[in-house]
Amino acid sequence: MSDFEPIETREQFEDEVSKRLERERESIEKRYEGFLSPDDVANKYKEYLSPDDEKKKYEGYLSPEEAAKKDAEIKRYETSAIKIKIAHEAGLPYELAERLSGENEKEMKKDAEMLKGLLGEKKKAPLRETEGNNKKNDAAYRSMLSEMKGE
């Protein structure tokens, strides 16, 4: 207690009080060093929307789940269109288009060729009857026409 010095003047008192206040201010600043002041918070978050304002602003937009569902549906349609195109190019019936498998167009084409080999060559219907009965049919049509004309 030998280092105690009595304060005798007002200036000494104010000096000691200001030192004490400065030490206290520094300890408070250290304690709240990472925190924002109310003004800083207002400036930082002034562009943010409240939950109610956000709902109003984005009303009618798709949610991420709905967008993912739509994307999956679009992908399914695109895959179906590719399968139909490949089946048509390979000469497969439309009904077999959805049976094609593969992750990409190249694999689907391979599958279509394999399926085409299993089914055999698709025979096209003749445009006109090629049997030997043509003359007989022609004669029948001619007689029917002559009866209609009244000859």
Distances (CA, A) of 39 to 36, 42, 112: 8, 5, 69
| 7 part of a folded domain | no
Tell me the per-residue pLDDT of 52-106, one tens digit each, with 9 for 90 and over: 888 888 888 888 999 999 999 999 999 999 999 998 888 888 888 888 888 888 9
Count the domains in the chain: 1
Tell me the per-residue pLDDT of 90-99, one tens digit each, with 9 for 90 and over: 888 888 888 8
pLDDT over threshold 90, residue 136: no
> If you ran DSSP here, which 8-state letter would residue 95 be given?
G
Q: Choose between 2 and 51: higher pLDDT.
A: 51
In this prediction, residue 141 carries a pLDDT of 82
Average pLDDT, the chain: 84
| 150 part of a folded domain | no
| 112 part of a folded domain | yes
> In terms of residue numbers, what domain contains 97?
64-119
Mean pLDDT of 4-20: 91
| 125 part of a folded domain | no
| 56 part of a folded domain | no
- Local confidence band at 151 (pLDDT 50, 70, 90 cut-offs): low
Q: Which helix (H) or strand (E) holds 92?
A: none
